[in-house]
Structure formats: C-alpha cells, structure tokens
Structure 1
Amino acid sequence: MSKKLLLPTSIVGSLPKPAWLAPPEKLWSPWKLEGDQLLEGKQDALRIALQQQHLAGVDIISDGEQTRQHFVTTFIEHLSGVNFENRKIVKIRDRYDASVPVVVGEVARQKAVFVEDAKFLRKLTEKPIKWALPGPMTMVDTLYDDHYKSREKLAWEFAKLLNEEARELQDAGVDIIQFDEPAFNVFFDEVNDWGMAALERATEGLKCETAVHVCYGYGIKANNDWKKTLGSEWRQYEEIFPKIQASNIDIVSLECHNSNVPLNLIELVRGKKVMVGAIDVATNTIETPEEVADTLRSTLQFVDIENLYPSTNCGMAPLSRNVASGKLSALSAGAEIIRKEFGM
C-alpha cells in the first residue's frame, strides 16, 4: 500500500482452521489441543493462513482468526465480569438462538487479548496487516446482560476496552484495525442513537487506518434463510451509511457479490475507502476471476478506483480449506484483471 498499489486485496476475517486444530467447517468449533500444544497449534495455523494468503497473492494480510474460536466471544472470554459457565439463550441479530455468556458485573480488560498474536504475525510478513475486533454493538448483541441492564451503557464500556486493545495492536505494528459490526445491519435506530458514537469511541486516538465491516453474515443456514426474507433489494446500508460517512472511520467493508444490495448505495460513503465484497462466502462454488472483475467493475461508478479494496463478503471459517484457497486466488486474479484494464 505504501507503493500505492491499486486494488489492494484482503479477506474480511476468518479462514478455515486446520482439522488437527479444530473440527472444520463450523463456527464455535472446539479446540482439539490443550495447554502449550494449543498455543503452538494456533501459531502453526497462523503460519499456514499467512502462507495461504501469500500464495494466493493477497495484498493485506490477516490472521485468518486462527487463534480464536469466534470473532466476538473470544474477546469477551478475556474480560472480567462475564460468566461463561451459566449461559443463557438469546436471539442473536434478531435471527437465531444461541447459548451465550452472561454479564454479571462490571466488565474490565485484565490483559491484552490479541496483541501477542499480532506481534507474531508482524514478524512473519512485511506486507500490511489488518486485524479484526468485534464492534461494541455486536458484542452487546452476542451475550446476555444481567448487570448494566442497558445495551447502550454496556456498549460504551465495551468501546473503552476495545480502544485499549486497538491502541496496543497499533503499537504492535497493525496497519488497519477492522471493527466487525454485523449488528449495524439490523438495529438501525440504535446505530444512529449511540452505536456509531460507541464505535468512534473504540477508535479514539488511533493513528493507523480503521475499518468497519457491515455484512449479512456468515454462510450459515440462519443467515441464508434471513436473506431470503429481504426481498429483491437489500437496502439496509441506506439506513446506516450516512452515519458512517460522517464518522472518522477510514474504510467501509460491505457485501456485494451474489447479494441484492443496490450498488448505488455505495455512493452514500463516497470519499471513504471501500472494501467491496467480491467473493460469496455462502457457497462452495469458486468464483472465476472474470466474475470477481465484473463485481469490482460494477462498483467503480460509485467508488474511485484508488479507494477500492477488493475483499470477501464475510469470513470463510465454515468453508473447506480448498474452497477458501480457490476463492482467495480468484479474488487476486480478478483484481489483476481490473489493474490491467487501467494500465497499472
């Protein structure tokens, strides 16, 4: 990116884990190793994820979320004030029931959660690295609050803790910190009342680039069923993009390929960098480079090419490793088609 690479590619977050580390193709997959072996196994998996991205020609490297079970709960696990033993069933994103931890007292961050992992990855590659953290609203929506009794109050507490983590990740050499906020696509009033403000609190004082990822979810049945109810046009972004446009967030990550999102909604965040989801994570079909290029090309009337960052729609944890690798290669090859068209 420092050399002004056109269309720098990246993944949103997760890659499939090796079968020796956790049962494949599922979320919240339990670890197969323990203690020091688990630590070594996570680091080995991180090396594999890095190699997978390097071989596919990905430009901005992520950890593939190899050291965490889930994009939200792993961060929450490291906080005090949350009980993981006596769980409750809640409806996540107004979509599906899940057994979640309970906030029983004041939440606090006792130590860094991902900083050592980020330092490890930083030593392994000279490419820019991006690290994903859960956003405050999505964290609130992924547990049961028996203490604050207010989604807004809890979100502000989480925002402070996320900011502590983000500052340390920045100091560890992370170039882009991405906050995952799929809840933004559901709770529009809360986004506009306090959700965006809480997210900006999480980014306070950061000098590295920041991104917000707002998608329609992993390719799991509950999400796919929900999408079928959304009609021929998915206009959720229309509700939240004006607030994001007015924020200090640098990059907006959204879902495009095989979605019913009207692409002209991207115009609402004109001037921001846009991570365009050009890979569908809800299918095992591997896109052709031409399909990826078509998706990217179709967005160029709404985002300047220097602000276009080709990416995946969402994380790929539920996919097989072969399918994920094929999709990564297609992403890079599709971006290269567009670069050649522009003589870059």
Structure 2
Amino acid sequence: MTTATNNTLLPTSTAGSLPKPTWLAEPETLWSPWKLQGDQLIDGKQDALRISLQEQQQAGIDIVSDGEQTRQHFVTTFIEHLSGVDFENRQTVRIRDRYDASVPTVVGPVSRIKPVFVEEAKFLRQQTKQPIKWALPGPMTMVDTLYDDHYKSREKLAWEFAKILNQEAKELEAAGVDIIQFDEPAFNVFFDEVNDWGIACLERAIEGLKCETAVHICYGYGIKANTDWKKTLGSEWRQYEEAFPKLQQSNIDIISLECHNSHVPMELLELIRGKKVMVGAIDVANHAIETPEEVANTLRKALQFVDADKLYPCTNCGMAPLPRAVARGKLHALSAGADIIRKELAILSS
C-alpha cells in the first residue's frame, strides 16, 4: 500500500470543498449556478482549481485537493454524469431525515458512461508533487440524495452505485490520486442500513484499490438544516458508536470525522483504534477563525485515543458555504495547530 504523506507527522488536509471565487459561482451558497458558460466555464474551473491549490499550499496544508471547484454539489455533480437518472423529472424527498430537497429520479439501470472527475484529477496531479486526495460521494449518501423509481430498493441501488464508484476510483488512482475519500454523512443517520449493507457497499467501492482509502462521516455543512438538527442531538453525540465497530474491521484505511466544537465524546475514537483518523479540528459551522492553540487542544485530546503516526488533522466538513477569507484563516490555523503538536511530540521523543 502506498503511503500518501511522505512520512510527514500529523499531515494536514481538508474534508473536501473550499469556497469558490465570486467570478465563478455565487459565494456562500450550495448548488450555486455557474456564472460562466462553455469554454469560459472550463477555463474558469481550472483557474479556480489552481487558486484553491495555491491557497492550500500557502496555508501549509500537506495533503491537497481540488477544493471541489469544478462541482456544484458533492453528490449530485457525480450523479449528473450517470445514465438512468432523469434530472428533469424531479421529486421532493427528505434528505438524511433532516430537510426536503428537490432531487432527480432514477428511471432505469444506472451506469457510468464515461469518467466523471478523472480529467480534473489529472490536471490537479500536473500542478503539484504533493499527495492529493480526491472526494467521491459514498453509495449510501448517493441513494439518499435521489428519488428511486426503478430499483425500489435502497440497498440494490447502493450496490449499483458501489460498482460505478469502483470504476471511477480505479481511474482516479491511475491518474495519480494518493487518497480516495468517500463522503458518507448518511452513516450518521441510518444506523441499521449502515451495518446491514452500507459498509459492505463501501468495501465494494474500494475493491482492488492500492491507494489509500478514506470514509468521511460528518454532521454536515454549516447550513441551517444541519445546525438546527445538531441542536436536537443532546449533550453527547454518540452516532459514531453505531458504525465504528464495523468500520474498524473494514478494509478502509482512514476514517474522517467531526470533533472540534461538537459534542462527539472523544473516547469513541477508541472504537477505531488501529485505523488512521482524520480528526476534524476546524469547525465549518461558524465564521470564527480558530486559534492555533484551539486546534492543538483538539489534537491533544485525540492523541489519547489515536497513535500519533495515525493522526491526520483535518476540517470537520467541507467549507464551500464559508467566506473565502474565513476559510483561508481556518486553513492557516489548522496548519499552525498541527505544528504546535509536532513540536511537542518531538520534545517528548528526544
């Protein structure tokens, strides 16, 4: 198995999305329509990707990504490229038991006609020698973001998506991606399904990959539907307890989760001892920029349950809805906080 981090201790990364430039899309908005068209849009997306990469590099982020600059949404942009899904025929569904959204309909067998993100991944690979991470939606979260009028079974549809994701993941690996991450916020909601077939579908999606694989399980973007839901979860958020035992036994290399400013009891990390853990040390649900010491404090707590060589400081979730200056500040804080802990660990080991 390749190591994605060139032996950097506590390699930093983001969960996925970063804000887009105002000339490309409406700021601080999910599903924001593009402001450019045709060839200008293609150029604009590549320029935005370059800028996003540069901002990560300037902030000292170790494992870089495309910042999801070329996609409107972390799930539907992937689904748009598949056959069997009708985007004109929309239905309103309840997403993650939390909010209603108008979504496309599965009208026939789903398949991948051509690669979805592979060209963008090749482009990112050309821009940097750093390890790169690429995010894909997970099978269960894809199922939860559609109206299924064909398979009439969440599980059957998830297995089909897992096969499609595996095809895409293999080509992303061939394009030079070091870590492929599957976003599964649905794992925090549908606990029976997670254990019955969700983790099995995820393992089908990573079948045969030699690069590192990650699953990102969060409490969602800092949008009102999610922040309102969090207020109902009480003083301890123990959702991870449901999926962690089976994930610990799975072939997934890295588990990415939300920690900072959340009510997730840190000792739940003991349940995934032995896995690499991307510890969310940056809150994406507010505009306050963490101090390096706040980040360091979250990492110190995590180090009680995660070995230092397996701890990857990260953000809680994507930062697409945040102002760019705030996201930039948070990235710098993440790097600075990780650096504090690296120095402390160096003193302890000397």
- Which category of TM-score, normalised to the shorter sequence, fits these structures? over 0.9
How far residue 342 of structure 1 moved from its aligned partner, in angstroms, is: 1.1
Gaps of 5+ in 2: none
How far residue 319 of structure 1 moved from its aligned partner, in angstroms, is: 0.1
Q: Take 1:12 and 1:114, find their aligned partners in 2: how far apart are those partners?
A: 17
Amino acid at match of 1:242: P
Which residue of structure 1 aligns with residue 129 of structure 2?
A: 126
Which residue of structure 1 aligns with residue 150 of structure 2?
A: 147
Q: Take 2:5 and 2:39, find their aligned partners in 1: how far apart are those partners?
A: 37
State whether structure 2 residue 274 is matched by structure 1 residue 271: yes
Which residue of structure 2 aligns with residue 280 of structure 1?
A: 283
Partner of 2:85, secondary structure, is strand
Pairing partner for 2:84 from 81, 85, 93: 81
Which residue of structure 1 aligns with residue 237 of structure 2?
A: 234
State whether structure 2 residue 64 is matched by structure 1 residue 61: yes
Distance 1:271 1:218, change over 3 A: same
Partner of 2:346, secondary structure, is coil
Which residue of structure 2 aligns with residue 192 of structure 1?
A: 195
So what's the TM-score if we normalise by structure 2? 0.98
Q: Take 1:42 and 1:15, find their aligned partners in 2: how far apart are those partners?
A: 13
State whether structure 2 residue 39 is matched by structure 1 residue 44: no
Partner of 2:67, secondary structure, is coil
State whether structure 2 residue 108 is matched by structure 1 residue 105: yes
Asked if 1 retains the 8 angstrom alpha-carbon contact of 2:5 and 2:63, the reply is no
State whether structure 2 residue 28 is matched by structure 1 residue 22: no
State whether structure 2 residue 157 is matched by structure 1 residue 160: no
Partner of 1:325, secondary structure, is helix
Q: Take 2:224 and 2:39, find their aligned partners in 1: how far apart are those partners?
A: 35
Partner of 1:343, secondary structure, is helix
Asked if 1 retains the 8 angstrom alpha-carbon contact of 2:139 and 2:159, the reply is yes
Gaps of 5+ in 1: none
Q: Take 1:190 and 1:143, find their aligned partners in 2: how far apart are those partners?
A: 16
Superposed CA RMSD: 0.7
Pairing partner for 2:14 from 1, 11, 15: 11
Amino acid at match of 1:22: A
Which residue of structure 1 aligns with residue 209 of structure 2?
A: 206
Partner of 1:44, secondary structure, is helix
- Report Cα offsets for 1:226-275 as digits up to 9, x if no partner: 00000000000000001100100000000000000000000000000000
Q: Give percent identity, aligned residues only.
A: 80
State whether structure 2 residue 254 is matched by structure 1 residue 251: yes
Partner of 2:56, secondary structure, is helix
Question: Which stretch shows the higher mean deviation, 2-11 or 334-343?
Answer: 2-11
So what's the TM-score if we normalise by structure 1? 0.99
Asked if 1 retains the 8 angstrom alpha-carbon contact of 2:5 and 2:62, the reply is no
Partner of 1:342, secondary structure, is helix
Asked if 1 retains the 8 angstrom alpha-carbon contact of 2:5 and 2:11, the reply is no
Q: Take 1:83 and 1:9, find their aligned partners in 2: how far apart are those partners?
A: 38
Partner of 2:12, secondary structure, is coil
Structure 1 residue runs of 4+, over 2 Å off?
Answer: none
How far residue 3 of structure 1 moved from its aligned partner, in angstroms, is: 3.6
Amino acid at match of 2:343: K
Amino acid at match of 1:94: D
Number of residue pairs aligned between Structure 1 and Structure 2 = 344
